[in-house]
Amino acid sequence: MGNVQSSLPAYYNADPTNEAYTHSLSKYVDLASSAIGAKLIKASNERFGAAANLINPSEPTSDAWVTRRHNPESDWAVVRLGSSGTIAGFDIDTRGLDGTHANQVSIQGCLASEDALVDGNGDVEGAEWTELLPRIEVSANSRHLLALWTPTTEAFNFVRLVLHPDGGVARLRIYGTFVPNRTEGECDLACVTSGARVVSASDETLGAKEALILPTKALATDSRGVRGWKTRRSRTDEHHDWAIIKLGEPGFLTRVEIDTATFDGDQPVRASIHACYTELESPERDTECFWYEIASRTELNANTCHKIDVQLNDVPFSHIKVVIHPDGGVSRVRAFGQRVAEIEKEAARECAEAAAEAVVAAEIATDSNEDQSATDDVLTNDVSEKPATPKAARSPPSARAKPQTPQKQKPMPRVESSADETSESTSLHKKSKKADKPEIRKKKAKKPESINVKPEAQFSSRAGELILSLTSPLPAKKRSRTRSRADDEESVHTVDSLGKRSRRKAKNTTN
């Protein structure tokens, strides 16, 4: 079975009778029409007819591309398509040519820069030709509607028609699908160059529905298929006609334009725009599809482009329906908006940028925390390495400001006493040191409380004064009278003083 299919030609006749109103190529667009921007670049010979007639959108009459006879090789014509697109089929029209038509033709295609040059052999600069239609025989005064079994997956923007060896062809149609021009921002989603297509219409007796989405402005000299969409007259005011346009891509619509150029007196009275969203080619096949009115009825004037802001511009739509009341002609319809895919792409890019900013902010915060931790560690190490000064060893500010030289204390007189007296004096001396320690921490020492001693209890001898000095809690520098060495020696050798001291010690011992 596979061998049988491989032996078949790559094309088939889409309209064997040449009388079919619709055929397998009806849903495609003529990419080689001058109405959508196609242009003849170069031809090998135009002796009896201009090659520009090949891309004329009107029906052929007596105009055709005809070359001279007796060409030893072949003639060719290079056409740049209105836009890049995939190829689905061809229409080689020889109507009006009887006896001067070409005997055999072939078609080739390539993809190159739009401003690429064509040399004298019909080759495009920087591109190689790919065979789209092999050499076939053509008949006089007939249409050859040939469809490819499988449309090309590769896009082309240049085609070359080759005549073998010479002759004439009236029209050349290249049916295919435009590769959408994905311009950023707002664009006309209802234009054929964006991938839009007219799905159906209620009537197109006087003007083709495909003219609604052409990118060029309508002219009064244009043919029926280019001037605009026009319906027949109706006899009731309740009548209305409609045309459904599938947008190039689903999008959020912002405004529409209804152009009545070249229609003066035969334009509709009013028009409205409806929109829907469906994944099917035709909304009529979707039972769950619902039409929303995005532009209410608007009065239309002759030869005027009516710009209308639409409602529900935050809802995506895939199709629009132009409704005219009651009938008439409209040259062009534009639907401006932004593609859903582009908005989703922008949202994804914004989310990615926000995530990247969050990561950078987190890294900055982490670095600042690490720097702060390092600073705290340095400060902690500095404090721990610095030796601490004991509070007891610190001197008051007055002492640090004016250091005093310690005075030499006079030696205490030697008194012969017992072991008990010696231990008692030692303990008293320790107590006096303990009492003096708190006074060192304070800036201002407390004044000692005065001891009231009765006059009759005072000792009259030098020994009594010595005992009083030893037992007194007052510091030595606060004592009222400084003892001399002579006084101490005198008190040591006094018999009365020794007796009194021994008696007092004995009294304390008995207690």
Which are the contacts of 167, defined by CB distance < 8 A and separation ≥ 6?
66, 67, 75, 97, 100, 101, 102, 103
Between 462-471 and 419-441, two packed helices, what is the crossing angle to 10 degrees? Answer: 50
Q: How far apart are CA 49 and CA 92, in angstroms?
A: 16
> Would you say the pTM of this structure is higher than 0.75?
no
What is the separation of C-alpha 49 from the centre of its chain, rounded to a whole number of angstroms?
Answer: 55
Which residue type, as a one-letter code, is found at position 389?
T
User: Six-digit token pair at 481?
Assistant: 């009278």
Q: What's residue 360's pLDDT?
A: 87
Please give the C-alpha separations between residue 405 and each of 124, 394, 396, 402, in angstroms, as whole numbers. Answer: 112, 16, 15, 10
Higher local confidence (pLDDT), 297 or 392 = 297
Does residue 485 register a pLDDT over 70?
Answer: no
Please give the C-alpha separations between residue 441 and each of 392, 394, 437, 446, 449, in angstroms, as whole numbers. Answer: 6, 8, 7, 12, 20
Q: How far apart are CA 87 and CA 31, in angstroms?
A: 9
Q: What's residue 384's pLDDT?
A: 60
Asked if the bond preceding 165 is cis, omega within 30° of 0, the reply is yes
Q: What's residue 255's pLDDT?
A: 95
The 10 Å Cβ neighbour count of residue 407 is 7
Q: How far apart are CA 321 and CA 341, in angstroms?
A: 22
Backbone angles phi, psi at 395, to 5 degrees: -100, 155
The answer to whether the beta carbons of residues 247 and 196 sit under 8 Å apart is: yes
Q: What's residue 386's pLDDT?
A: 54
Does residue 322 register a pLDDT over 50?
Answer: yes
Exposure string of 78-116, with b = 16+ CB inside 10 Å and e = fewer, is: bbbbbbbbbbbbbbbbbbbbeebbbeebbbbbbbbeeeb
Higher local confidence (pLDDT), 406 or 148 = 148
DSSP tag of 204 = -
DSSP assignment string, 274-307 = EEE--SSS-GGG-TT---EEEEEEEE--TT-EEE
Segment among 106-110, 183-187, 242-246, 481-485 with least mean pLDDT: 481-485
CA dihedral (81, 83, 84, 89) positive or negative: negative
Percentage of the chain exceeding pLDDT 90: 45
DSSP tag of 122 = S
Backbone angles phi, psi at 427, to 5 degrees: -65, -40
Q: What is the pLDDT of residues 390-448, one digit of tens each?
A: 444 444 444 444 445 445 444 554 544 444 444 555 554 544 444 444 444 444 444 44
CA dihedral (112, 117, 122, 125) positive or negative: negative
Q: Which of 417, 432, 510 is nearest to 470 (CA)?
A: 432
Name the percent of the chain in helix, strand, coil, to the closest 5: 30, 30, 45
Q: What's residue 9's pLDDT?
A: 75
Q: In which band, very low, low, confident or very high, does the pLDDT at 449 lie, cut at 50, 70 and 90?
A: very low
Per-residue pLDDT averaged across 77-98, rounded?
Answer: 93
The 10 Å Cβ neighbour count of residue 35 is 24
Question: Which residue is it, tokens 């006059």?
Answer: 455
Q: What is the pLDDT of residues 323-359, one digit of tens each?
A: 999 999 999 999 999 998 887 777 787 788 888 888 8
Please give the C-alpha separations between residue 220 and each of 52, 264, 448, in angstroms, as whole numbers. Answer: 20, 11, 127
Q: Which of 218, 182, 169, 150 is nearest to 84 (CA)?
A: 182
The answer to whether the beta carbons of residues 247 and 60 sit under 8 Å apart is: no
Which are the contacts of 256, defined by CB distance < 8 A and separation ≥ 6?
273, 294, 295, 307, 308, 310, 320, 333, 334, 335, 336
Q: Which secondary structure element, helix H or strand E, spans residue 466, and what is its range?
A: helix 462-471
Per-residue pLDDT averaged across 439-458, rounded?
Answer: 47
Per-residue pLDDT averaged across 137-157, rounded?
Answer: 93
Q: Which of 41, 76, 40 is nearest to 56 (CA)?
A: 40
First to last CA, the chain: 140
